[in-house]
Structure 1
Amino acid sequence: MTTTATAGASRPTGVTTGGRRNGVLAGTGTLLRFGLRRDRVRLPVWIAAVFLVTVSTANNVKTLYPEAADRAGVARTSDSPAVLAMTGPVRYLADYTYGAMLGHRLLGLTVVLVGLMSILLVTRHTRAEEESGRAELVRSAAIGRHAHLAAALGLAAIANLALALLLTAALGGLGIESITTGGSLLYGLSVATGGLLGAAAAAVTVQLTAHTRAASGGALAVIGAAFALRAAGDAGDNGLSWVSPIGWLQRTYVFVDNRWWPLLLTLLLAAATTAGAFALSTRRDLGAGLRPARLGPPTATAALGTPLGFALRLHRGTLLAFAAAVLLLGAMYGSILGNADDMLKDVDQIQDALKRVGGTSIADSLAALTLMVVAVIAAVHAVMATLRPRGEESGGRAEPVLATGLSRAGWLGSHLTVALAGSTLLTLATGVGFGAAGAASTGDAGAFWRLLGGALAYAPALWVTVGFAAALYGWFPRAVPLAWIVPAYAFVIGHLGPLLKLPEAMNNLSPFGHVPRLPAVGMAWTPIALLTAVAAALIALGLVGFARRDLDMK
Structure 2
Amino acid sequence: MTARWRGTGFLLRFALRRDRVLLAAWLAVLVATVAASAAATGSLYASTADRVAAAEAINASPAVVALYGPVLDTSSLGELSMTKMTVLYAVFVAFLSVVLVRRHTRVEEETGRAEVVGATAVGADAPTGAAVLEAVLASVVLGVLVAVVDVACGLPLAGSVLFGASWTGIGLVGAGVALLAAQVSSSARTVGLLASAVIGVFYLARAVGDLAAEWLSWLTPFGWGTRLSAWSEPRVWLLAAYPLLAASLVGGALALRRRRDLGAGVLPERAGPAEGSPRLRDAAALVWRQQGTALVGWTVGAAVLGVLMGSIVPTIGDMLDTDATRGVVEAMGGVGALQDALVFALASVVAVVVTCFGVAAVTRAAGDEHDGRTETVLATATSRSAVLVALASAALAGTTWLLLVSGVATAIGRGDGLAAVGASLAQAPAVWVVLGLALLLLSVRSRWAVAGWAVLVVCVTLGQVGAALELPGWVLGLSPYHHVPKYPSEAFVWRPEIALTAVAALAVSGAWWRYRSRDIG
Deviation at 1:513, TM superposition (A): 2.7
AA partner of residue 315 (structure 1): Q
Partner of 2:437: 468
Paired residue for 1:89, among 48, 55, 70? Answer: 70
How far apart, in 2, do the equivalents of 1:284 and 1:354 lie?
Answer: 64
> TM-score when scaled to structure 2?
0.91
Partner of 1:5: none
How far apart, in 1, do the equivalents of 2:379 and 2:70 lie?
Answer: 58
Please say which of residues 371-380 and 24-33 is displaced more in the overlay.
Answer: 24-33
- Measured against aligned partners, the alpha-carbon deviations of 1:291-333 in whole angstroms (never above 9, x if no partner) come to 1223433322222121111111222222222222111110111
Please say which of residues 71-80 and 475-484 is displaced more in the overlay.
Answer: 475-484
Residues 1:490 and 1:235: Cα distance change in structure 2 (over 3 Å): farther
Higher Rg of the two aligned structures: 1
Residues 1:301 and 1:404: Cα distance change in structure 2 (over 3 Å): closer
Partner of 2:420: 451
Partner of 2:345: 369
Deviation at 1:380, TM superposition (A): 1.3
Write out aligned runs for 1:28-427 (5 A): 28-80=8-60, 81-93=62-74, 95-97=75-77, 99-172=78-151, 174=152, 176=154, 179-236=155-212, 238-346=214-322, 348-349=324-325, 352=328, 360-427=336-403
Deviation at 1:86, TM superposition (A): 1.9
How far apart, in 2, do the equivalents of 1:29 and 1:357 lie?
Answer: 59
Deviation at 1:44, TM superposition (A): 1.8
Q: Does structure 2 retain, via aligned residues, the 8 Å contact 1:89–1:251?
A: no
Deviation at 1:482, TM superposition (A): 3.8
Q: Secondary structure at the match of 1:467?
A: helix
Residues 1:515 and 1:247: Cα distance change in structure 2 (over 3 Å): same
Residues 1:107 and 1:490: Cα distance change in structure 2 (over 3 Å): farther
Residues 1:358 and 1:322: Cα distance change in structure 2 (over 3 Å): farther
What is the RMSD of the two structures over their aligned residues, measured on CA atoms?
2.8
Residues 1:142 and 1:498: Cα distance change in structure 2 (over 3 Å): closer
1:546 partnered with 2:508: no
AA partner of residue 488 (structure 2): P
1:526 partnered with 2:495: yes
Deviation at 1:25, TM superposition (A): 2.2
- Measured against aligned partners, the alpha-carbon deviations of 1:379-423 in whole angstroms (never above 9, x if no partner) come to 111211122222222333333433444332222221111101101
Q: Secondary structure at the match of 2:4?
A: coil
Residues 1:208 and 1:350: Cα distance change in structure 2 (over 3 Å): farther
Q: Does structure 2 retain, via aligned residues, the 8 Å contact 1:356–1:498?
A: no
Deviation at 1:366, TM superposition (A): 1.8
Deviation at 1:350, TM superposition (A): 8.7
How far apart, in 2, do the equivalents of 1:456 and 1:56 lie?
Answer: 28
Q: Secondary structure at the match of 1:91?
A: coil
Please say which of residues 235-244 and 154-163 is displaced more in the overlay.
Answer: 235-244
Q: Does structure 1 retain, via aligned residues, the 8 Å contact 2:71–2:80?
A: no
AA partner of residue 229 (structure 1): A
- Measured against aligned partners, the alpha-carbon deviations of 1:119-153 in whole angstroms (never above 9, x if no partner) come to 01111101011111111222223333322211110
Partner of 1:26: 6
Deviation at 1:203, TM superposition (A): 0.7
Q: Does structure 2 retain, via aligned residues, the 8 Å contact 1:402–1:408?
A: yes
How far apart, in 2, do the equivalents of 1:351 and 1:105 lie?
Answer: 25
Structure 2, unpaired ranges of 5+: none
Residues 1:493 and 1:70: Cα distance change in structure 2 (over 3 Å): farther
Deviation at 1:540, TM superposition (A): 1.0
- Measured against aligned partners, the alpha-carbon deviations of 1:205-257 in whole angstroms (never above 9, x if no partner) come to 11111100110111111112111221222233633211211101222112222
Q: Does structure 2 retain, via aligned residues, the 8 Å contact 1:390–1:473?
A: yes
Q: Does structure 2 retain, via aligned residues, the 8 Å contact 1:376–1:490?
A: no
Q: Does structure 1 retain, via aligned residues, the 8 Å contact 2:176–2:250?
A: yes
1:537 partnered with 2:506: yes
Please say which of residues 412-421 and 83-92 is displaced more in the overlay.
Answer: 83-92
AA partner of residue 92 (structure 1): D
How far apart, in 2, do the equivalents of 1:317 and 1:239 lie?
Answer: 33
Q: Secondary structure at the match of 1:551?
A: coil
Please say which of residues 106-115 and 61-70 is displaced more in the overlay.
Answer: 61-70
> TM-score when scaled to structure 1?
0.86
AA partner of residue 169 (structure 1): V
How far apart, in 2, do the equivalents of 1:76 and 1:487 lie?
Answer: 37
- Measured against aligned partners, the alpha-carbon deviations of 1:5-45 in whole angstroms (never above 9, x if no partner) come to xxxxxxxxx9xxxxxxx733233222222212221222222
How far apart, in 1, do the equivalents of 2:203 and 2:140 lie?
Answer: 22
Residues 1:78 and 1:486: Cα distance change in structure 2 (over 3 Å): farther
* Percent sequence identity over aligned pairs: 36
Structure 1, unpaired ranges of 5+: 1-13, 15-21
Residues 1:458 and 1:118: Cα distance change in structure 2 (over 3 Å): same
Residues 1:486 and 1:65: Cα distance change in structure 2 (over 3 Å): farther
AA partner of residue 143 (structure 1): V
Deviation at 1:542, TM superposition (A): 1.8
How far apart, in 2, do the equivalents of 1:337 and 1:490 lie?
Answer: 26
How far apart, in 2, do the equivalents of 1:267 and 1:492 lie?
Answer: 34
How far apart, in 1, do the equivalents of 2:353 and 2:23 lie?
Answer: 21
Q: Does structure 2 retain, via aligned residues, the 8 Å contact 1:355–1:365?
A: no
Please say which of residues 293-302 and 109-118 is displaced more in the overlay.
Answer: 293-302
How far apart, in 2, do the equivalents of 1:432 and 1:71 lie?
Answer: 33
Residues 1:352 and 1:496: Cα distance change in structure 2 (over 3 Å): farther
Please say which of residues 502-511 and 287-296 is displaced more in the overlay.
Answer: 502-511
Partner of 1:512: 481
How far apart, in 2, do the equivalents of 1:493 and 1:106 lie?
Answer: 22
Residues 1:257 and 1:492: Cα distance change in structure 2 (over 3 Å): farther
Q: Does structure 2 retain, via aligned residues, the 8 Å contact 1:82–1:235?
A: no
Residues 1:425 and 1:281: Cα distance change in structure 2 (over 3 Å): same
Residues 1:503 and 1:224: Cα distance change in structure 2 (over 3 Å): farther
Please say which of residues 244-253 and 503-512 is displaced more in the overlay.
Answer: 503-512
How far apart, in 2, do the equivalents of 1:477 and 1:358 lie?
Answer: 51
Q: Does structure 2 retain, via aligned residues, the 8 Å contact 1:353–1:499?
A: no
